[in-house]
């Protein structure tokens, strides 16, 4: 079936047009209705910029230089700003790492959710309070009739994130974009919020694009994932295939660097070397400096995207039989 969200050749740049820095470079992402798709990577590799591009919320110095973003039949890059505002928080909801920065400190929780309800649901005034309480209940906030009168500073971090989720749900989104939604929370609360997202997804049928640096979060919640490195997606796979047979050397390092017992519950451990700055002029493979399998060709040519098996692809010469004989691929894939 046609994907819910289809991103093709997305290229996002920051800074001066005369000396742009490409922070997302030729991204393809396809998200199916109802699935959880994780975008995994170390910080500074372009995950958040990808999300902001999809929502057209880039900082003033940013722009989408190429590509297409479609939500079903809607070409998001061609909408006017007013049309896009209706999509945001409507068909597409979003939550961020720091809920307090998105909540208005001088407005009660109830008024903020009511505003989201009024904007996106077109309900009559009389129905709004009831819907607000219903949303609070849906996100597991006890005693919602009391909570609506409180201000954000009276709530814990986990409660604030639940409020943000309630606001994102007000427009009945087909897709929820969640950028590190649990990173600022302590571990127990993290697990509760992830479980809540999972439950809500089952109930509503919405898809979730989950942006994270946490392999444990991916293992617990995602159906498929894309691994990002230095502005590129370097591997796409089902979560099961990824943990069983990661195809890209970067993915393998990420998994190897976790102690066996933590394989499915750990954060990305540090791997030797560092993510290159995105203003680097790349010639070969962006991972070559850190790659234990690097070959000569890797330093002079950029690997292309290769489909390895149904739904499993990687950007690496190890899988490129055409690169063989150019100092490239071994006869047997790894």
Question: Interface with Mg ion by CB under 5 A: which range of 44-52, 85-93, 102-110, 137-145?
Answer: 44-52
- Nearest residue to 201 via CA among 177, 180, 185, 219: 177
Interface with ligand SF4 includes 317 (CB under 6 A)?
yes
Question: Interface with ligand SF4 by CB under 6 A: which range of 41-49, 52-60, 94-102, 294-302?
Answer: 294-302
State in angstroms the smallest separation of the CB of 98 from Mg ion.
11
Computed from CA positions of residues 51, 53, 58, 63, in that sequence, does the dihedral angle turn out positive or negative?
positive
Q: Which of Mg ion, ligand SF4, none does residue 285 bind (CB under 5 to 8 Å by kind)?
A: ligand SF4
The single residue among 170, 285, 306, 308 that binds ligand SF4, judged by CB under 6 A, is 285
Nearer to Mg ion, 45 or 113 (CB): 45
The single residue among 23, 303, 308, 312 that binds ligand SF4, judged by CB under 6 A, is 303
Rounded Cα–Cα distance for residues 144 and 147 (Å): 5
State in angstroms the smallest separation of the CB of 283 from ligand SF4.
12
Interface with Mg ion includes 48 (CB under 5 A)?
yes
Cα dihedral value 198, 222, 67, 83, nearest 10:
0
3-state secondary structure of 48: helix
The single residue among 112, 171, 287, 312 that binds ligand SF4, judged by CB under 6 A, is 287
Question: Interface with ligand SF4 by CB under 6 A: which range of 141-149, 212-220, 257-265, 292-300?
Answer: 292-300
Nearer to ligand SF4, 210 or 285 (CB): 285
Contact of 217 with 210, CB cutoff 8 Å:
yes
Rounded Cα–Cα distance for residues 29 and 65 (Å): 17
Cα dihedral value 169, 171, 175, 176, nearest 10:
-40
- Reading phi first (left if > 0) and then psi (alpha if -120 to 50, else beta), residue 26 is in left
State in angstroms the smallest separation of the CB of 289 from ligand SF4.
8
Interface with Mg ion includes 53 (CB under 5 A)?
no
> 311 CB contacts (<8 Å, ≥6 apart)?
224, 236, 237, 238, 241
The single residue among 294, 305, 326, 327 that binds ligand SF4, judged by CB under 6 A, is 294
Contact of 208 with 277, CB cutoff 8 Å:
no
Question: Which positions touch ligand SF4 (CB under 6 A)?
Answer: 248-249, 285, 287-288, 291, 293-295, 298, 303, 316-318
């Amino acid at each position: 079936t046609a994907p819910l969200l289809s991103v093709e050749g997305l290229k996002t740049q920051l800074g001066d047009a005369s000396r742009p820095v490409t922070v997302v470079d030729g991204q393809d992402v396809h998200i199916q209705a109802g699935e959880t798709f994780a975008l995994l990577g170390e910080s500074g590799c372009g995950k958040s910029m990808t999300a902001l591009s999809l929502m057209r919320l880039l900082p003033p110095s940013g722009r989408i230089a190429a590509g297409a973003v479609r939500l079903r039949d809607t070409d998001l890059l061609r909408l006017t700003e007013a049309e896009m505002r209706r999509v945001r928080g409507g068909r597409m909801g979003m939550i961020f790492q720091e809920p307090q920065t998105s909540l208005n400190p001088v407005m009660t929780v109830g008024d903020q959710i009511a505003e989201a309800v009024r904007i996106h649901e077109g309900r009559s005034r009389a129905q709004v309070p009831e819907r607000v309480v219903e949303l609070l209940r849906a996100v597991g906030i006890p005693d919602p009739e009391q909570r609506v009168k409180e201000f954000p500073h009276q709530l814990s971090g986990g409660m604030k994130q639940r409020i943000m989720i309630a606001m994102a749900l007000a427009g009945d989104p087909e897709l929820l974009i969640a950028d590190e939604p649990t990173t600022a929370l302590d571990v127990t609360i993290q697990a509760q919020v992830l479980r809540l997202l999972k439950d809500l997804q089952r109930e509503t049928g919405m898809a979730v694009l989950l942006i994270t640096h946490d392999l444990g979060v991916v293992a617990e919640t995602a159906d498929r994932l894309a691994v990002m490195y230095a502005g590129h997606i370097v591997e796409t796979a089902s979560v099961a295939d990824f943990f069983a047979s990661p195809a890209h050397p970067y993915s393998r390092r990420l998994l190897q660097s976790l102690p066996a017992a933590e394989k499915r519950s750990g954060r990305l451990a540090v791997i030797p070397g560092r993510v290159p700055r995105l203003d680097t002029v790349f010639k070969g493979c962006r991972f070559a400096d850190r790659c234990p399998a690097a070959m000569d060709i890797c330093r002079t040519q950029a690997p292309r995207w290769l489909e390895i098996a149904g739904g499993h692809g990687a950007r690496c010469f190890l899988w490129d039989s055409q690169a063989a004989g150019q100092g490239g691929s071994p006869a047997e894939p790894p």
